[in-house]
Structures are given as C-alpha cells and as structure tokens.
Structure 1
Amino acid sequence: MTAPAPTLPDIIPGAGTGTPPATIVPARAKPRLRALDGLRLIAALMVAAYHYGGRDGEIGEAWGSSPKAQFPTAHEWFAYGCLGVQIFFVISGFVICMSGWGRPLRSFFASRASRLLPSYWAAVVLVTAVFALPVVAYEAVSPSDALVNLTMLQQPLGADRVLGVCWTLWAELRFYALFALCVVLPGATRARVVLFCAVWTLAAAMARAADEPLLDVVLMPEYAPFFIGGIGIYLIHRDRRDLTAWGITGVSWLIGQHYAVSGLWHAPDPDSFSYRSSLVIIAVVTAGFAAVLLIALGHLHRVNWRWLTVAGALTYPFYLVHEHLGWVTVRALHQGLGLPSYATFGLTIAAMLALAWLLNRYVEAWLTPAIRTGLGRSLTPRR
C-alpha cells in the first residue's frame, strides 16, 4: 500500500489551519570566549618566562651564565611559570569537551589534526634547520629522529625530541584519544561525560597506587585532574546549577594541586636553582582553575577585545617555537649585541610572537583548512 503524500501542514506547521506558520529562527553561533584566548596567551608567556629565566641548563649557555645571575630576584618568580602547562590542560579539557559535543568522530579527528599539525610540522622543520646551521652552537637531533618527530610519537618511540615542549602534546594526544573513544564515538551526553570524568578520576588514582607503567601512560595520573577539571567547568558553563559538575571540578582541583606540589616542591636547598613555596604553587593552580571558571560563568564577558582572538591564534605556534629558537635569539641579543638581560628577555618574547604570527598567517591559514577538508572527505562513509 502506498503511503499518502504529505500534506501542507505536515511540511509547514500551522499551514492550512488558519494559524500563521511558525517562524524558523536560525540558531545563533555561540559567541567566542575571547577571555579564554587571553588566558591561553598568559599561560604561554608563563611557560616562556620559565624557559628563559626560571631554570638552568641550555638557556644558561645562551645567557653566558645562569639565569639566576641574570635575574637575581625575578628568577624565583619565573620558576613558577612551568605551571602554565597545568593551566593549558584545564583550558584544553574545557575546549575539547565543548568542541566535541554533538560532533561525529570523523569531524572531531579532522578538527584536532588540522589544528595541531600545520604549525607543529613547520616548527619541527624550522628548529631542525636552524640547529643545523654552523653558526648555531646547539646540537641537532639525528635525521632519523627528526623525521620521527613529524609523527608526534617521538616520545613513546624513544626518539630525541626536536621541540622540548612536545611532551605536553603527547599528553594532549592521549587525552584526545580517551575522550574520542569514550565520549565522542558513542555521542556526547551529560551522563556519559560525567561517567567518563568519574571513571577516569578513580582509574588514575588506582594507576598511581598500582605503580604500573602502562597504566601511567594511558591514564596520566599527574595530568588527568587538570583535563577532568576543565571538562567539569564546561559542564558548569552549560548549567551553573549542576552540582555534580561542581563536584567534578572541586575534586579535580584538590587532586591537581596535590600533583603540582609533589612534582615541583622540594625542601629548601642552597644549591638548587630556586625554591618554590608550596603555598604559591597551590595559589597558581587555584588561579588557573578560577580563571577558567570565571570565564565559563560569564563573569569576564567584558574582556571581549577583538585582539584577544589574534592572541589566541598566536599562542600555539608561539608555544612551539619559543624555547629552542629563544635560546638562539637570547645568545644573539645578549652575548652578540650586548643588550641588557631584561631588554633581551622582552625582545626575545616579541621576536617569538612575530614568528608565531608568520606561522599563523602563512602556514596555518593555508594548511589548516586544507587538512580539515581533506580529512573530512576521506573519512566520510561512501555509499
């Protein structure tokens, strides 16, 4: 039996009934949280301050002496800059949950790959090429290891890293994989996200207790609370009355500050580069959680300047290139041109931001949409 053809009321609600049809209002895109872009840049600058003046090592060779001598007072505060990474992880939990909600797995994968790879590839090639120059006094990795670095899997494969900061990308990749398999693939719902946060929190604690390397690699006990905390804050962003989301965020903050203190605090030692106070470590972690939470609740909606979008776009390429190419720049400005320490510090930051703009303008603007479109087409099921 043939099904009857649909009538006008079946197609347009209210048609043929004397009632005017309902007006279909297109859904408005959610406004960009520009304050989150600003927080990204602050976290990146914190990490840069740590790499330029908050630790010893290769940067000491660039300065010609320990940064402790270059920044007698500031180096103690620069040493807290490494906590910018934990703030990045909280932001990442928020953003990945937001971007993965309601998105199919192929779209999620294409979006993440197109966001991470263009500037990363460019940074790997650029740093490898600069370190291979005879005038640069830093040892480049082997050609084989440089090629492996293009996969982002150099750390688990045991290859030398071209970019020192890429260990954080390895943590991000594992988070993306867990979230994609447990939330994006079956379809994001509040119940599924809450279950994911609860199971990951408990499993990460059990992994630490078991002291099993494989579980540590998969579940990342040290970094899990920051990603989970960001997810909890996104649930609060969706519904500020969600007590479960507040609980997820609170527990994540409690565990996160514990790992931050246990990893960065040590007893006072006159021979150490710097001494970090446990109270300041807790305060910085708390400030990171609080900043993302205030943005999620809309309390920083006035921080909506357009230039923050540009700042957010520059953060990732700046983060990739600032450390190793910063060594070269510091050596050239401080030892080569004889500029004072603080002038060298500021000009190096500016130079790395300018390089990040070039990468964003001439690499990401071209390659990101190409990768996203290409992967989207190749991953779309064919009939």
Structure 2
Amino acid sequence: MTPRERLRELDLLRFVAALAVVLFHLTGFWGKGAWPDPSREMFPDLGQVTRYGYLGVDLFFVISGFVILMSAWGRGPGEFGVSRLVRLMPAYWVSVLMGAGIYAVFHMGNGIPGLVIPNLTMLQGGLDIRNVDAVYWTLWVELHFYVLAAILAGIGITYRSCLVFMAAWMFAGLYADEADHKLLQVMLLPTWNAYFIAGMAFFLIYRFGSTLLLWGYVAVAYLLALRWGVWRGENAFHDVNQIGVCAVITGIFAVMALVATGKLRRLRWRGLTVLGALTYPLYLVHSQLALPLLDAVYPGLNKWAALAVVVGTSLLTAYAVHRFVERPGAAWLRTRLRASLEPVRRADRLTTSVGHEDRGGRGSTGVNGTEPHDRTPVDATRN
C-alpha cells in the first residue's frame, strides 16, 4: 500500500472540534457539571457562543466518514479492524482507568465491577451500562460505523461499491425510521448516518474528483443533517437557536467541501500534526480532569484563571497520553494483532492454492495448458 499524504487541514479541524466540545462542557453547558453552578451561568456571555460547541461532534462524524474510508481503502476487514483497535484502545483504556480513580476519590459511580470493567470493552452502550465518562457515547456511535465499514471492506472497497453502500445506508436508515423499527434504527443510525455518508462522499471527491452525483450525495446528506440537527437542538440541547444550529452545520459542510476540493492544502504547518494527535486524548480526558482541578483551584482562583488551568492541564495530559501511551501502545498492539491475522492469511493462501490445483492441476497452467486467466479486479481508480 502506498503511503498516504497527511491532510494536516483535517488535523486542524479535528482539534477545533475537540476544543469546541471542551469549551461547551466548561462554559456552555446548561446542566450540572464540574463548576458549582451550570457552566453557562458561570460564563453567560461566552456561553452564548460555546453553547453550540456540542456540534463539534457533528464535525467529528463528517471527518470520520472521510478518514475511515481513506483508512479502509485497499484493506480487508482484518487490517481495517487492526487499524481501528490500535487507534482507539490505548488512550481509551487510560481514560477509563483515570475515571475509575476519580470516581473512587469522589465516591461516585457504582464501583469497578459494575461500571469500569464493562467500560474497558467499549461495548457498554450495547450492554445498557452507563459510561464512565459521558463523552464515550460518541465512541459507540463510531463503532456502529466501523462495523458497517468493515462489512464494506469485506465486500471490497471500490468507487462503485461505495456509491451503492452510501445509497443503501441512507435509504435503509430512512425506511427504518419510517417503520419505527428499533433494531434497524440501532444498526443504521438514521439520526447520524448523514454525517458519515457526507464524509465518505467528500473523500471520493478528494480522491477521484468532483461529479454531480457525488455532490448530490453531499447535498442530500446536508439536508438530512439539518433536519436531525434542529431536532436534537429542540429535544436534547436547551436554549439553542435553530438558525444558529443550521449555520454551524452549514459551516461544517462548507469547510469539508474546501478540504475535498483541495482549497485548504496550504495548511501544511507541521504543528498541526501535533494538534491532530492531541485531539482524541483531549476529548477523552478533559471532563474527567475538570472536577478534581476545579475542586482544587476554584474559587481560590477567579473563574477565568480556573478555566485556563483546566484547559491547559487537559492539553498537557492529552500530550502525555499520546506520547507515553498511544505511541508505544499502538506499536505493541499493532504487531501482535497483525500476527493474529497470519493464521487466517495462511488458511486463505492454502485454500486458494488447493482451488487452483483442482481447476488446473499442480502447475500454474490452466486445463488446456494455457496461462490461467487474470481475475484481478479492475483498479478502483478506473471505476
């Protein structure tokens, strides 16, 4: 597989999305949080803007559709699964254990056996068990997408199969919602799938060029995202303006369109790669650190200084997790997971070899003594 060019503009956007979520929790959240009072009441002016920070998750999901398709291209489901486990689990395990320690100190939660151990699997969403940290809910949504992407990788990822997959996922999600079918709604994520589909379409535009069909996918996904974004604003998030929600979602699609068409390629500062590396651990640890930090420094420090302490400490912790956990942990885990796939590859090679012998004898020639017909699939770039 040829090395992929790093899109540092996506690193920047990922960091912006994570920072938006951090500021939402610390300055724009309406409910009980780490502050003595709701954070939106602590920062009433700033909160008028950061109350929309939860839409950083929406940006995450569009970026995920782009990046996951790019990551899965040319890989089978096994290699794709290894890449996801290596990327997600080391920092996640640290976050769960950090949460366990904080819960123990502050006498929160229902103990290690009932809460922390199931959370270590990242499957607690399917077990109907509360997350150690509320932010983990997005990881369960992401896992739904990864399963579908692995199925696509098993079928074979080409331009054509992606178009079929995106259309099938979009319409099946609509049918599931229309029928109010619980199982299909859980599997197909009709309230979120538009973001992932849009991200996939943006990647296809980036890799193969603009076509009316691909922009049609983006347009339909955008309209669906607006519908569900307004619905979430009315039902899950309080005191957000519909026009504001639509404006942010429109901005998300606009900036991703710039990425897809190469308009942001000038963003090549290497420091953006560091910001991209901080994104995932920052997202995981910030809300857990906020409670003990604010308990220690506020009101001894004024609210702005305390906010700076929390954000700064979260960034430093995120870097430490990346440097001392993610990088060595990923290397260790990648080697062993790939070794675990080797028996599967050997079995596949043996099956293929036996099949060739059955069709054409022990040699490499066909039944008529001619070279066997080349059945290599047409390269995806020609589709």
When normalised by structure 1's length, the TM-score is 0.86
Answer yes or no: is 1:307 the counterpart of 2:279. no
Alignment of structure 1 residues 279-318 onto 2, 5 Å? 279-318=243-282
What does residue 112 of structure 1 align with?
A: 84
Match of 2:26 among 41, 52, 71: 52
Match of 1:253 among 222, 225, 235: 222
**Which structure features the higher share of helix residues?**
2
C-alpha displacement at 1:126, in angstroms?
1.1
Alignment of structure 1 residues 189-228 onto 2, 5 Å? 189-228=158-197
Deviations 1:318-351 (A, max 9, x none): 101111222222232223xx21222222221111
What does residue 305 of structure 2 align with?
A: 343
Cα RMSD, aligned residues only? 1.8
C-alpha displacement at 1:48, in angstroms?
0.8
Answer yes or no: is 1:77 the counterpart of 2:49. yes
Match of 2:142 among 155, 172, 175: 172
Amino acid at match of 1:223: W
How many residues were matched structurally?
345
Question: How many Å separate the matches in 2 of 1:195 and 1:273?
Answer: 34
Alignment of structure 1 residues 1-383 onto 2, 5 Å? 29-59=3-33, 62-133=34-105, 136=106, 138-139=108-109, 141-181=111-151, 183-265=152-234, 275-335=239-299, 338-380=300-342, 381-382=345-346
Contact 1:132–1:140 under 8 Å retained in 2: no
Deviations 1:152-180 (A, max 9, x none): 11111011211211110001011010111
Question: How many Å separate the matches in 2 of 1:330 and 1:300?
Answer: 38
Question: How many Å separate the matches in 2 of 1:99 and 1:68?
Answer: 38
**What residue ranges of structure 1 are gaps of 5+ in the alignment?**
1-26, 267-271
C-alpha displacement at 1:141, in angstroms?
4.3
Contact 2:100–2:132 under 8 Å retained in 1: yes
Amino acid at match of 1:154: Q
Distance change in 2, residues 1:119/1:244 (3 Å) = same
Contact 1:128–1:140 under 8 Å retained in 2: no
C-alpha displacement at 1:382, in angstroms?
2.6
Question: How many Å separate the matches in 2 of 1:189 and 1:156?
Answer: 31
When normalised by structure 2's length, the TM-score is 0.86
Deviations 1:87-117 (A, max 9, x none): 0000000001111111122111100010000
Amino acid at match of 1:74: L
What does residue 10 of structure 1 align with?
A: none
Amino acid at match of 1:367: G
Deviations 1:18-69 (A, max 9, x none): xxxxxxxxx973421101000000000111111112223331xx32223233
Question: How many Å separate the matches in 2 of 1:98 and 1:341?
Answer: 42
Contact 1:313–1:360 under 8 Å retained in 2: yes
C-alpha displacement at 1:242, in angstroms?
2.1
Question: How many Å separate the matches in 2 of 1:139 and 1:289?
Answer: 38
Amino acid at match of 2:322: N
What does residue 7 of structure 1 align with?
A: none
Question: How many Å separate the matches in 2 of 1:159 and 1:186?
Answer: 33
Question: How many Å separate the matches in 1 of 2:111 and 2:185?
Answer: 27
Contact 2:230–2:246 under 8 Å retained in 1: yes
Question: How many Å separate the matches in 2 of 1:341 and 1:168?
Answer: 29
Which segment drifts farther, 27-36 or 90-99?
A: 27-36
Contact 1:164–1:324 under 8 Å retained in 2: no
C-alpha displacement at 1:143, in angstroms?
2.5
C-alpha displacement at 1:145, in angstroms?
1.9
Deviations 1:256-275 (A, max 9, x none): 11100111137xxxxx9952
Amino acid at match of 2:244: V
Question: How many Å separate the matches in 2 of 1:63 and 1:99?
Answer: 39
Contact 2:30–2:41 under 8 Å retained in 1: no
Question: How many Å separate the matches in 2 of 1:333 and 1:292?
Answer: 39
What does residue 372 of structure 2 align with?
A: none
Amino acid at match of 1:29: P
- Tell me the percent identity: 39
Amino acid at match of 1:361: R
**What residue ranges of structure 2 are gaps of 5+ in the alignment?**
348-383
C-alpha displacement at 1:139, in angstroms?
4.0
